[in-house]
Amino acid sequence: MSAMRSPQPGSGTPRLTQTQLNGVIARHRAFRRSQSGGIRANLKFHDLSHLDLSGIDLSDADLSGAKLFGARLSQTNLSGANLYAADLRMAHLEHANLHRGDLRGACLRGAVMSGANLVEVDLRDGMMMRWDAAGELAEHRFDPSPVISEMTAATVNAANLSRAKIANAFVMQTDLTDAVMRGTKFMRTNLTNSNLTGCDLTGADLTEAILKDTKLTGSILTGAAINGASFKGAVLTGAVLDSAHLASGDLKGAVLGKSFLREGPDLEPLLRAHAEWIGSGSKHGERADLSAFDLRGVTLQGVNLAAAVMTTISYPKGCLAGARLAIADLSLSDLREADFRHADLRGALLKRSSLNGANLSGALLGAVHIQSMNDHLWRANLHRARLDGAILAGADLEKADLTGASLVCADLRNARLKDADLSGADLTDADLSGVDLSRSRIAEAVGLG
């Protein structure tokens, strides 16, 4: 465990008022702009609890050992900042920029970091030393009890933690839903009871990590190192796994999709009961539920599974060409390279599903009217779906929800995206020849320039 010491002995720095803090911020702003009178913000060891630092530029500032308990740091620029051993418990860091920040030894217990940029941050162990009132070198702390490096009970959903270093840390009971953690170092990290639903852990290092009872549904673990990791009770249904992961034995105790061919019901009776359920307006028969099954080896070409429940299924390279899947729920599923040619997916739920390389040419992914008192319009939902390299040529995506979806290198030639919501979607290098984007929403979409 590394350590730092205060450069000068002393009994601590008084708490700043909001007015005093505003003065420090103004001088730091001038420093960043190379203006006269500018001074880099030095808030080392300061108590800034519950103060408002939202939306300001504190990049490269020194906040080491600072107490930021409950501080408001939403959309604050803290890139390259020194937050070594800082107390960030219960802090609000929504959409903050912490790129390459030094957070070694920092405590983020209960912090809210939704949408934050944590790329290449260092969250490993660390301890800060300083001179106390008696002139003795002692561990720096604001409270009688030690504040250790951890992210327990934090909310980090949709944050980007790519290539971050979180080794040996406690990240228990933390919400990391939809977080991007490509190449992140989690060696020996305790992630017990955390929610990693829909996370991208491509190339992450989970060596000897503890993932007991962790939720990993729909997550991507391609190329991840899991040697010696504990997955007891971890839910991995719908997750994208390498064949080496399944053969390694490291997933012992994890909850994986059950083989439909070996453990599922007979397909034909299931489809007949579902057809009766549809035809009778749900009064007779039984709705098909294929949730959490591994459907590899099953052919579903042309079947009628409209309104079926098919969440967290594993069906890479599956055959669903011409299938009727209107209003079906296929969320958080592994559907890479699946064949959906000319399938009816109107109003279907494909949230957070992996559809990289899937063939959806000519598929219907528009809205469907639900006949009821309110005449409800049910849109196809592909929120944060992964469609990199997917074929969507000639597909109907009118009014579809594609918010946050990844469509890198996708083939969208002559696709209909009229009135679709592409907010935050990534269409880098996608083929958009002949695409109808009239009235579509493209706020913060990438690759449309």
pLDDT tens-digit readout, 93-149: 999 999 999 999 899 999 999 999 999 999 987 555 454 566 554 555 556 555 567
Q: What is the mean pLDDT of residues 226-242?
A: 96
pLDDT of residue 370: 75
pLDDT of residue 449: 72
What is the band of 253 on the pLDDT scale with cuts at 50, 70, 90?
A: very high
Using a pLDDT cut of 90, give the percent of the chain over it.
82
pLDDT of 348 higher than 60: yes
Q: What is the mean pLDDT of residues 316-324?
A: 98
Other Cβ atoms within 10 Å of 8 Cβ, number: 7
pLDDT of residue 147: 59
Which of 201, 145, 144 has the alpha carbon at shortest distance from 171? Answer: 201
- Please give the mean pLDDT across all residues of the chain: 91
Beta-carbon contacts of residue 152 (< 8 Å; ≥ 6 apart): 109, 110, 170, 171, 172, 173, 174
pLDDT of residue 374: 62
Which of 46, 52, 29 has the alpha carbon at shortest distance from 86? Answer: 46
Which of 227, 151, 219, 222 has the alpha carbon at shortest distance from 187? Answer: 227
Other Cβ atoms within 10 Å of 114 Cβ, number: 20
Q: What is the mean pLDDT of residues 184-188?
A: 95
Provide the residue type at 12 as one letter. Answer: G
How far is Cα 69 from Cα 50, in angstroms, rounded to an integer?
6
CA 415 to chain centre: 28
Domains of the chain, CATH where assigned: 258-449 (2.160.20)
pLDDT of 181 higher than 90: yes
pLDDT of residue 142: 56
**Ramachandran category for residue 80: left, alpha or beta (phi over 0 → left; psi -120 to 50 → alpha):** left
Provide the residue type at 437 as one letter. Answer: L
Provide the b/e sequence for 58-97 (b: ≥16 CB within 10 Å).
Answer: bbbbbbbbbbbbbbbbbbbbbbebbbbbbbbbbbbbbbbb
CA 299 to chain centre: 31
Q: Which two tokens stand for residue 45?
A: 């060891």
pLDDT of residue 391: 98
Q: Which two tokens stand for residue 235?
A: 């839910």
Q: What is the mean pLDDT of residues 252-278?
A: 96
**Least confident stretch, 7-16, 159-168, 313-322, 408-417:** 7-16
In the block, which residue shows the tokens 């070996």?
262
What sections of 250-350 are H helices per DSSP? 260-263, 267-279
How far is Cα 133 from Cα 136, in angstroms, rounded to an integer?
7
pLDDT of 5 higher than 60: no
Beta-carbon contacts of residue 139 (< 8 Å; ≥ 6 apart): 127, 128, 129, 146
Classified as helix, coil or strand, 177 is coil
The alpha carbons of the chain give a radius of gyration, in whole angstroms, of: 25
pLDDT tens-digit readout, 16-65: 888 888 999 999 999 999 999 999 999 998 999 999 999 999 999 999 99
pLDDT tens-digit readout, 192-221: 999 999 999 999 999 999 999 999 999 999
User: What one-character-per-residue DSSP string does 415-442 give?
Assistant: -B-TT-B-TT-B-TT-B-TT-B-TT-B-
How far is Cα 26 from Cα 420, in angstroms, rounded to an integer?
43
How far is Cα 304 from Cα 99, in angstroms, rounded to an integer?
48
How far is Cα 61 from Cα 83, in angstroms, rounded to an integer?
9
Q: What is the mean pLDDT of residues 6-20?
A: 61
Burial of 268 (0-12, 13-18, 19+ CB in 10 A): exposed
Classified as helix, coil or strand, 277 is helix
Provide the b/e sequence for 230-264 (b: ≥16 CB within 10 Å).
Answer: bbeebbbbbbbbeeebeeeebbeebbbbeebeeee
Classified as helix, coil or strand, 262 is helix
Q: What is the mean pLDDT of residues 341-350?
A: 98
- What secondary structure, in 3-state letters, does 186-203 show? CCCCECCCCECCCCECCC
CB 98 within 8 A of CB 114: no
How far is Cα 447 from Cα 332, in angstroms, rounded to an integer?
25
How far is Cα 205 from Cα 165, in angstroms, rounded to an integer?
10
